[in-house]
Structure 1
Amino acid sequence: MFEWVTNPEAWVALFTLTALEIVLGIDNIIFISILVSRLPEKQRQSARIIGLGLAMATRVLLLLSLAWMMRLVDPLFSIMGKDISGRDLILILGGLFLIVKSAMELQHAIRGDTNDENNATAKKANYLMILVQIAILDIVFSLDSVITAVGMANDIPVMVIAIMIAVGVMMLAAKPIGDFVDNNPTIKNLALAFLILIGVALVGEGFNMHIPKSSIYTAMGFSVVVELINIRMRRNQAKLQK
């Protein structure tokens, strides 16, 4: 079980895989941050931790059931000449769920709903229902993560440790990212648009039409940098007007 400890290649795989798992978890953090923003302030941190804990558990369980994972690629049925496997079906349904949920959150933003702790919308947000929604998307986001892990490492312990370290880093980053998104509505709207694009990419991948996530991440990163410049400019202008 611990033979990998003396293998330099396993350590390289561990560090590389950990970095990739953190990158692949960005969309997961953003989705969780936006969902928990519908909760009262005192419940948000626990929801973030539980949500990311569910993400880690899902990834580890999928890794430990590799035989089942391999069967997910067997075709179940065909749509317009395209074979649809269990994995494809999960990606399509998960992508549609992500698109609909993100669009609904955008609608809340357009209507002007706030995230104030005393707001009726926040009070009505169901804690358990939000955790269920997080768990559903964790399964979808975990597929990419697990497939990457299986492709990069041969030792199950290396994969599990990489996932645990990555989720630990994500737990530390979740609150500052969530607070930043909550305090900057334009960034939140960009994040929601980003999640809709991720949803479209997942649906496309389910139909065997690969949309490189790197392109989406690059476009989103550029948009965020531009918006950060705009935020800084608005703050400077507000100071000058005072």
Structure 2
Amino acid sequence: MFLENLFTVENAAALVTLTAMELVLGIDNIVFIAIVTGRLPRERQETARRLGLFAAMFLRIALLLTLTFMMRLTSPLFHLLSHPMSGRDLILLLGGLFLIGKATHEIHNKLEGPTTPQEKRVKAHADFRSVVLQILVLDLVFSLDSIITAVGMARHITIMIAAIVLAVGAMMLFAGMVSAFIDKHPTLKMLALSFLLLIGVMLVAEGFGKHIDRGYIYFAMGFSVFVEALNLKMQKKAQIG
């Protein structure tokens, strides 16, 4: 009887919708993973991506299994600058500030480069555990809204878990290709860091209750990538000619 109730048109539609939502909201996560794993030795990058996403998948599922706690995240805890801060707002605010700091630091390194021998060693051999932990934490921040939305969209916890597993599987599949493409083109890496800076500002704004439609962010990202693709094509033609 349970299985009959599970395999329905309504649940199938919910699964497709939730998986698509997780994938779309995972775009910024993939960009972050490409940047943060780029500082690891090449032979360890794939392991870090898979391990970070695999651990993040179980964290998402664990949060789903604590539905009461998840819904409580939207309740106000205290006021900050006249805005009632909930657990969700606090997580978004801290995640946004971390992302702004991380993107600014990486942009500085790209423009100025490491100046001391110690900084050069750190750049060449980033800490593996630190990279995995960053993927785990930022995945939680990026997926927080989608998890809360999933609680309201699907009636069965099994559907929500299946959507997360499918989405993370797709991210594991594409993260490596995105990382390789960004590493191959330095200008795209700077563009990706600018995206992370923009997303960080958006998270801080949402932490203070100022909702920004992600469609605008993704449109700007898509348009910028399109223009950069045209530039790369023109450069390639100029080299051939």
| Structure-2-length-normalised TM-score | 0.93
* Paired letter, 2:43: K
* Cα distance between partner residues in 2 of 1:4 and 1:98: 42
* Cα distance between partner residues in 1 of 2:138 and 2:85: 20
* Cα distance between partner residues in 1 of 2:30 and 2:3: 31
Residue of structure 2 equivalent to 1:234: 235
Q: Which runs of 5+ in 1 are unaligned?
A: 114-118
Give the drift of 1:13.
1.1
Residue of structure 2 equivalent to 1:116: none
* Cα distance between partner residues in 2 of 1:4 and 1:178: 41
Q: Secondary structure at the match of 1:199?
A: helix
Contact 2:71/2:148 (<8 A) preserved: no
Residue of structure 2 equivalent to 1:212: 213
Give the drift of 1:112.
4.3
Give the drift of 1:4.
4.0
Judging changes above 3 Å, is the alpha-carbon distance between structure 1 residues 4 and 181 closer, same or farther for their aligned structure 2 residues? farther
Contact 1:29/1:170 (<8 A) preserved: yes
* Cα distance between partner residues in 2 of 1:160 and 1:207: 29
- Give the fraction of aligned pairs with identical amino acids, expressed as a percent: 51
Pairing 1:49-60 to 2, within 5 Å after superposition: 49-60=50-61
Give the drift of 1:40.
0.4
Q: Secondary structure at the match of 2:20?
A: helix
Give the drift of 1:183.
0.7
Contact 1:34/1:178 (<8 A) preserved: yes
Give the drift of 1:122.
4.1
* Cα distance between partner residues in 2 of 1:133 and 1:52: 11
Please tell me whether residue 19 in structure 1 is matched to residue 11 in structure 2. no
Give the drift of 1:181.
0.7
Give the drift of 1:109.
1.2
Judging changes above 3 Å, is the alpha-carbon distance between structure 1 residues 164 and 235 closer, same or farther for their aligned structure 2 residues? same
Q: CA RMSD in A?
A: 1.4
Q: Secondary structure at the match of 2:212?
A: coil
Give the drift of 1:54.
2.1
Q: Secondary structure at the match of 1:78?
A: strand
| Structure-1-length-normalised TM-score | 0.93
Contact 2:37/2:48 (<8 A) preserved: yes
Q: Secondary structure at the match of 1:2?
A: helix
* Cα distance between partner residues in 2 of 1:12 and 1:194: 31
Render the CA deviation track for 1:169-223: whole Å, top value 9, x for unaligned.
1111011100001111111111111111111111111110011111000011000
Q: Secondary structure at the match of 1:76?
A: strand
Q: Secondary structure at the match of 2:155?
A: coil
* Cα distance between partner residues in 2 of 1:163 and 1:4: 20
* Cα distance between partner residues in 2 of 1:73 and 1:148: 12
Residue range with higher mean Cα deviation, 229-238 or 187-196: 187-196
Contact 1:40/1:122 (<8 A) preserved: no
Contact 2:6/2:156 (<8 A) preserved: no
Residue of structure 2 equivalent to 1:90: 91
Pairing 1:28-177 to 2, within 5 Å after superposition: 28-112=29-113, 120-177=121-178
Q: Which runs of 5+ in 2 are unaligned?
A: 115-119
Q: Secondary structure at the match of 2:188?
A: helix
Aligned length: 235
Contact 2:53/2:136 (<8 A) preserved: no
